[in-house]
Amino acid sequence: MTTTPPEVPTQRSFVLIKPDAVRRGLVGAVLSRFESKGLRIVTLQLRQVTGEESDQHYAEHVERPFYPPLRAFITSGPSVALVVEGDEAIEVVRALNGATDGRKAAPGTIRGDFSLSNRENLVHGSDSQESAAREIAFWFPELG
Ligand code: GDP
Ligand code: MG
C-alpha cells in the first residue's frame, strides 16, 4: 500500500529589503539567501517607500511607540520590494530572516549574520497567508 505524501502548499510571500541593507550594499547577499534556498523571485523593484505607504504596510503597528522611528527609518532611502514563491514560502522566508531583534537572531539567519539592531534589521517578510495576500496586493496590485 502506498501513502500519499502530505500536500506542501506553494506560497508567495512579500519581502522588503529595507534601506539599511541597500545603504550597506547587502542587497545581493540578502537576495542570495532566498535564491540559494530555492525560492523563485516573481517580481522585484527598487522603491522609495513613502510615509503613507509605511502607514498602510505597517497598519498593525502605527499606534506602537516604536512606529515613528520605524517610519523614519523605512522612508530614509530606497528599499527593494519583491515577491518570492516556493513551497511554504511564508514560513521559509521568516526562518531565513531570523528573529526581529538582530542581536537575538540566530547565526545563519540574515538578521543574525548582518544586524545588531531591533529596528535596522535588513528585511521584512509576510507573517501569515493573510498578510502575504494583503501586502502583495498593496505593493504589486498587478499580481492580484
Ligand atoms: P518582524 O515581523 O520580525 O519584522 O517584526 P514586527 O512586525 O514585530 O515589527 C516590524 C518592524 O518594526 C521590525 O522588523 C523592526 O524593524 C521594527 N520593530 C519591531 N519591534 C521593535 C521594537 O521593539 N523596537 C524597535 N526599535 N523597532 C522595532
Ligand atoms: Mg511583522
Ligand 1 site: residues with CB under 6 angstroms?
Answer: 61, 66, 70, 100, 118-119, 121, 124, 127
Instruction: Kindly state the DSSP code that residue 142 receives in the 8-state scheme.
Output: G
Residue pointed to by grid coordinates 540574515: 110
CB-count burial class (<10 Å; 0-12, 13-18, 19+) for 20: buried
- Point out the ligand 1 atom lying closest to the alpha carbon of residue 127: 2
CA 87 to chain centre: 16
Q: Please report, for the chain, the start and end positions of each structural domain, with discontinuous segments joined by +.
A: 11-143
Whether the pLDDT of residue 1 is over 70: the answer is no
- Give me the architecture of the 11-143 domain, per CATH: 2-Layer Sandwich (3.30)
Q: Which ligand is nearest to the CA of 111?
A: 1
**What pLDDT sits at residue 20?**
99
For residues 54 and 73, give the distance between their C-alpha atoms in angstroms, rounded to a whole number.
10
What residue's CA is closest to ligand 1, atom 16? 119
47 in a labelled binding site: no
Residue with CA nearest ligand 1 atom 18 = 119
Cβ within 8 Å of residue 121, ≥6 positions away: 18, 20, 97, 100, 101, 102, 105, 111, 115
What ipTM does this complex have? 0.95
- The reply, when asked if residue 118 is annotated as ligand binding, is no
Residue 48 has a pLDDT of 98
**5 pLDDT above the threshold of 90:** no
Q: Report the mean per-residue pLDDT for the chain.
A: 97
What does the pLDDT average to over 65-75? Answer: 98
Ligand whose nearest atom lies closest to the CA of 99: 1
Q: Is 103 annotated as a binding residue?
A: no
How big is the CA angle at 40 (ends 130 and 136), to the nearest 5 degrees?
Answer: 30
Q: Active-site residue numbers?
A: 124
DSSP reduced 3-state for 141: helix
